[in-house]
Chains A and B, each alone.
Chain A
Amino acid sequence: MLKELYLIPAFIYIFSYFIFLPKEKKIYKIFIYLIYAGFVIQSLIFFLFFDIKGLTVPVHIDRFVFFNAWILMFIAVLFGIFYKVEYILLFIAPLVAINLIIGFFVPHVLIKPVIIGAYKTILLTHIILILIGDSLFALAFIVSLIYIFQERKIKNKKNLKILNLESVSLPEAIRSGRRYNLELLDNINYQCLKIGFPFITVGIVMGIYLSAALFKIVIVAKPIEIMSLITWLIYAVLLHERMAKGLRGKKAAILSVIGFLFIIFSLSFSFYLFPSFHGLE
């Protein structure tokens, strides 16, 4: 029953895209309102029907996918309001919609009872921390992609339009890149990294702890751990370079993109190729 509810916000996000197609300024406002409406519905589902604490066997993995979609949207809305960059919603919404649809189709997965029993809290914290960190990195990824495209446009001086914003509709302004400025995109990227890194670090440590409990050995070269550590290392290097040497701009953006691709790899790796290593049956 709950799964069907996921489709409501997913449908709203997809529908809002059709609204976005025309070039009217007023219609664009409707687009933004629709996205917010989708987020509100998502939050309602989350707070009213969710029961993450009452984790039972078998675990509904779809709930975590839904949680991922919610936290992703939550972060995007927060950043959108804080940095006055509503346009990132435009890029985040499809990701969220895909997440919701995956949540609808995902099968029930069993988590090994060993973990559920004794380490329930740690397991929950591990999942939630990793998901929050990943969502922040997802935002950094999208912002970096925008940065790379926009930077290339400015460097090559091609298709670069200067428009007077007052007399141009917002969608057009977004298409022409008038609203993006490189410095702001870079700042958002940096913020995401700074906030996301501690989450992911603690999350990975907890994961290793859980894995040790599962296999009774602390360090084994398990593929999932290697992947996570590589990802962690990329972000660690990126953060260090930024803080110490003032790495900025295109290189930082490219590293963010690579880091996020590794996250996707390691997640799909652990879920599809080596589920048993991830404590799944």
Chain B
Amino acid sequence: MDILIIGLSHKSAEIHERESVSKKLLSLESRKDFTNELLAVKDEFGRPFIKEIVVLTTCNRSEFIMSLSSWAPGKGGHVVKNYVAKYFFGDAAKEDIFYMYLNEGAVKHLFCVASSLDSMIVGEPQILGQLKVAYNEACGLKASGQLLNKLFHKAFNCAKTVRTETKVAASPVSVSYAAVELSKKIFNVLEEKKVLFLGTGEMGKLTVKHFIKYGLKNIYITNRTKEKALRFVEESFGVAEKEQLNVIDFSEYYKLLPNFDIVLCSTGSEDYVLKYEDIKPLIKIRKQRPLFLIDISMPRNIDPEINKIPNVYLFDIDDIGRMIENNMEIRNQEAEEAKKLVDIAAKEFMDWKESLNAVPVIISLRNKIKDILETELSMHIGDKNEKDLIINSLTNKILHEPTMLIKKSSSETDGVNSLKAIKALFNLDSIDLTEDENGIEKENEAARKYRLEAADNKTKIKLVK
């Protein structure tokens, strides 16, 4: 019944170590094999150690979220950790780079991961999707059961709450996104604007992709060597994206420059590509229409003096970087708030999980009392309906407080002990806390029965009144 998380992320392991783990889990087939191998891990009595498992792999983390069998002590998780280290590195000594969380710690960790508080870039939205994919995959493999189902749904829920109630994801932190946002501050109908991309830089590529995603249709690319520009377009963009792209000759670009509203510069040039004298006359030809220049190259390719020309707005990598830095700070501050929400959600889940332990005891206690009353009362009351009514209402009255006590004690640390004491007190041996393989199903059934009975009783009592 314990929840165990073993994994490694950018916080615990080096990139090559993360790589070698994620390489072994790259295909669905390999993840399936790994899941089955883990499920086959047995303890010294030959009983399976792990009951449910979800395998999560992203570029920055690989994580195995497990629910252990009820006889497996959670503290024995190092056996699994050892096994995992051997599986991936063939060397048990490597287990230091894996982290391990148990029960409440594990729940909190998973909720933090889902809410993107544990990510390299706090608040990035991909992780939730990746987690959903991992969970669906486990469902497909029938590796996820009652406990993990509930855990994951709670995690998705928690992530949503964090996203809506805090500003963790509110402020963008990528250069390309910032560039598009800045253009929106200057231009009204961004979709109709023309973009010129000078160079073939990586950051520029991402920004162009972002512009295309936003719906810009006229994007022109130029480079000193035209072949390189053509190759760059061929290699870096998808089919749909290429439709919006045109490659123009480097000799032509200055002539066409007045037509462009946004100029993106990301070349490897050592010197300024666009100079003050180039832009000054341009703005008159443009009839003072605003011109937005983005310089994301190092060293800079656009003369910073240009920013002084009216209706020309120049942003270099430092300017954008400073804004992003601000946003990073905001996100980190918000993450503190978000952690409080995570704690609350984790506590709720743990309460639910603990209350699972108490259900079988309550049921057997009720049955016991009912049996006693049944035998005693059948001597005096002939009418079966009347007898049942009395038995039920007496059972409820007698057991009301003990039931509350059992539920309460089950969520405390020494809960198992008090449950054992109650069992000993009433001689409830028919129910074993270390239940067998189908334990949870049994519990489920019992819980349902209990609820139905309770509802039934309530209506009956109302009728009598």
Contact = CB atoms under 8 A, between A and B. Distances in A.
Interface of A: 150, 154-155, 157, 160-164, 167-168, 177-178, 180-184, 187, 245-251
B311 A249 contact: yes
A181 B184 contact: yes
Contact of A157 (B170, B311, B315): B315
B290 A249 contact: yes
Nearest to A178: B185
Given A167-B169, A247-B288, 16 more contacts: A154-B182, A154-B185, A161-B171, A162-B172, A162-B177, A162-B327, A163-B170, A163-B171, A163-B172, A168-B167, A177-B185, A181-B185, A182-B187, A246-B288, A248-B287, A248-B290
B13 interface: no
A246 to B, nearest CB: 3
A178 B289 CA distance: 20
B282 interface: no
A250 B290 CA distance: 11
B172 A164 contact: yes
5 contacts: A154-B182, A162-B171, A167-B169, A181-B185, A248-B311
Interface string B163-199: 1100101111000011001101111100000000000
A154 B290 CA distance: 12
Most buried by B among A150, A161, A162: A162
Nearest to A150: B185
Given A161-B171, A167-B164, A249 B288 contact: yes
B313 interface: yes
Given A248-B289, A249-B310, A249-B311, A161 B185 contact: no
B128 interface: no
B369 to A, nearest CB: 52
Contacts of A167: 163-164, 167, 169-170
Give 8 closest A-B pairs by Cβ, nearest first.
A246-B287, A248-B288, A183-B188, A162-B181, A184-B188, A167-B170, A249-B311, A157-B319
A220 B250 CA distance: 65
Contacts of A154: 182, 185-186, 313
Contact of B170 (A164, A180, A184): A164
A107 to B, nearest CB: 45
B20 interface: no
A165 B307 CA distance: 27
B290 A183 contact: yes
Nearest to A185: B188
Nearest to B164: A167
A182 B171 contact: no
Interface in B287-315: 287-290, 307, 310-311, 313, 315
B230 interface: no
B160 to A, nearest CB: 12
Contacts of A247: 288
A246 B287 CA distance: 5
A43 B359 CA distance: 67
B400 interface: no
Nearest to A252: B288
A183 B262 CA distance: 14
Contacts of B187: 181-183
B322 A157 contact: yes
Contacts of A182: 185-187, 290
A162 B313 contact: no
A226 B187 CA distance: 39
A162 B313 CA distance: 16
Contacts of A163: 170-172
Contacts of B322: 157
B416 interface: no
A155 B188 contact: no
